[in-house]
Amino acid sequence: MSCITDKLILVRGAGDLATGVMIRLLRSGFHVIALEIETPSAIRRTVAFANAVYKGVATVEDITGVLVDGVSVAPKIAEEGLVPVLVDPEATSLEILKPDVVVDAIMAKHNLGTHKEMAPTVIALGPGFSAGVDAHAVIETNRGHNLGRVILDGPPEADTHIPGITAGYGAERVVHAPATGTLTGICQIGDRVTRGQVLAIIENEAGQVKVPSPLDGVLRGLIYPGTQVKQGTKMADVDPRGDPAHCFSVSDKARAVGGGVLEAILYLERHIIALSPGEY
């Protein structure tokens, strides 16, 4: 039997949470490929391999994601310790890649088509999935006592629609687009900002709409400049702790969820490997 870390893991989504998961898996010896959409809306771009879709490459901590335009070259790039990023929102590349594990890390809060027949082991993150129905395991993503827990039967906790508390701030630190239009960044991720300072401008036919910072802190996340945003869309995040270093490293939440995915893979390997094809 081959070493478990020889297995190929395909991750749907390459936002900050998905990237934290992939980094934990790569450091554990697995080969990983990421699938993204054509215009990713990752807020925390500096810690998301999704940024490779715009920039060609995206390095997070000591691991680099590389945009590739061909499915056939992705496995070789993964074997070199990089993360190939494919634009493939429908996961059509599964038929060619035939991964051993699929991880749904899109974090859409509902299922966008992931099912247990995609691979021998299928794992999903957060609300919108039920273990045993949509995936073999679901990982709890809600902050609190169960964060990172592996669920083997049933759904995780429901979406609270409330951002996690950071230095006493929750919903207050999240910035939503005040209008529909094209985003132009004024501040950069990692900049220290003050309450009321203009973070970005949204341009549309009616003119320009300034987007102010809701509080003092550091701009931790901002949607990629030039992106078309809709009114009400989450577009930025201000960290009241004021430490720019937090903008460039994987979060505690992403590491915890990554640990849950790693645990689930190892657990399911022992329990599903004996099943015959078609039984998973």
What's the pLDDT tens digit per position in 211-241?
A: 999 999 999 999 999 999 999 999 999 999 9
**pTM for the full predicted model:** 0.92
At which residue do the structure tokens 């190929």 appear? 8
What's the pLDDT tens digit per position in 167-202?
A: 666 678 999 999 999 999 999 999 999 999 999 999
Residues sharing a CB contact under 8 Å with residue 48, sequence separation 6 or more, in sequence order: 14, 15, 16, 18, 19, 40, 42, 58, 60
Gyration radius from the chain CA atoms: 19
Question: Packing angle between helix 252-272 and helix 16-27, nearest 10 degrees?
Answer: 60
| pLDDT at residue number 147 | 97
Tokens read off for 32: 């990983």
All structural domains of the chain: 4-160+251-272 (3.40.50), 171-240 (2.40.50.100)
Question: Cα separation of 181 and 226, whole Å?
Answer: 9
